[in-house]
Amino acid sequence: MNKCHSRLMLLTCWAVILHVAAACSKPGPDAAASATLPVPAMTVTLSSGSTLGSSISPDLRSDFQLIDPEVIAAPLIFANGRYGPQADRTPFIVRNADEHWKALPLSSFQDAEWVYAGTAIRRGEIWAILYSASNARALGLYLLRSTNGGETWTLFSAIKLPAPTVEFLCFSLDAKGAGSVTVHQEDDTAAFPRGLYTFRTADSGKTWTGPAYTPDDLFAADQSTFSLQETIKDIRRTPFPTTLPAPQPLIIPPSTK
């Protein structure tokens, strides 16, 4: 074997090693990929909703409320309920104006759940996010926006989620229109390992890219609303192993490139 051929083989081997190393060092999905879901045109107005009477169904559950007069002119409640005992759960927007409470059901989003509501004060906007895993639409987070104090709402955009098991964590948006949405995957699988998945926008939430993946090996403690005595009683009823399982290696997803 001549020297030129040996040198060529050596360079080829190094090229393969560097290519494999580079591929393995890219965790998670492609953070620059589009994650925007197409959404139908939808605008709803609270004044077209039903006026709530003195008796409100106990099945109408309040998920989020915006009631601080420093950030909103009229109180808003984001609720979830049923039309009847056998009906699917439906998200509602409830608003108080002139001492009359109006409840508007979002019937096209049956079985969807509110995961966020908040105001962007400097932008003059109110945002609310629905999580939907229904067969009627694509798995995703659906963002609704109001620019007139909550009277009118538009289905603004939607984010395609990597798996139905992720949980919403947070939504941020600055005055210039840059923002992010982060979800957390609790289960550790080869396709979607445990960790944070962050989607980003640069055009005020109209389009989204991601997700960028961040591994997470922390397990948060459970929050408790019970007294210390009740908590200890509950713990005593839980069987604990005498030894903990051996730590498992962290799964890094393959690059999509």
Which candidate, 107, 114, 112, places its Cα nearest to that of 76? Answer: 114
CA atoms within 13 A on the CB side of 234: 9
Question: Who wins on pLDDT, 54 or 109?
Answer: 109
Cα gap 86→181, rounded to integer Å:
34
What mean pLDDT comes out for the span 4-27?
A: 39
With a cut of 90, say whether residue 167 has pLDDT above it.
Answer: yes
pLDDT of residue 56: 59
What mean pLDDT comes out for the span 31-57?
A: 81
What mean pLDDT comes out for the span 33-49?
A: 90
Which candidate, 74, 62, 2, 44, places its Cα nearest to that of 142? Answer: 44
With a cut of 80, say whether residue 256 has pLDDT above it.
Answer: no
Q: What is the mean pLDDT of the chain?
A: 80
Return all residues near 158 (Cβ < 8 A) that are at least 6 apart: 36, 37, 38, 39, 138, 140, 141, 142, 143
> Looking at residue 88, what DSSP letter applies?
P
Question: Who wins on pLDDT, 249 or 182?
Answer: 182
* Burial classification of residue 17, based on how many CB atoms lie within 10 Å of its CB (0-12 exposed, 13-18 middle, 19 or more buried): exposed
Each residue of 59-109: pLDDT tens digit?
778 899 998 888 888 899 999 986 556 667 889 999 887 777 888 889 889
Question: Who wins on pLDDT, 224 or 78?
Answer: 78
The two tokens of residue 133 are: 């895993």
How big, in percent rounded to 5, are the helix, strand and coil portions of the chain? 15, 35, 50
Cα gap 136→114, rounded to integer Å:
17
pLDDT of residue 115: 97
Out of 53-62, 122-131, 170-179, pick the least confident: 53-62
Each residue of 179-216: pLDDT tens digit?
999 999 998 888 889 999 999 999 999 999 999 999 99
DSSP codes of every residue in 163-218:
-TTEEEEEEEE-TTS-EEEEEEE-S--SSS-SEEEEEEESSTTSS-EEEEEEE---
pLDDT band at 26 (very low <50, low <70, confident <90, very high): very low
Cα gap 106→83, rounded to integer Å:
12
**Percent of the chain topping pLDDT 70:** 76
pLDDT of residue 10: 41
What mean pLDDT comes out for the span 141-163?
A: 95
Amino acid sitting at position 10: L
Cα gap 28→192, rounded to integer Å:
8
CA dist 98 → 16, 20, 51, 109, 176 (Å): 71, 66, 12, 28, 34
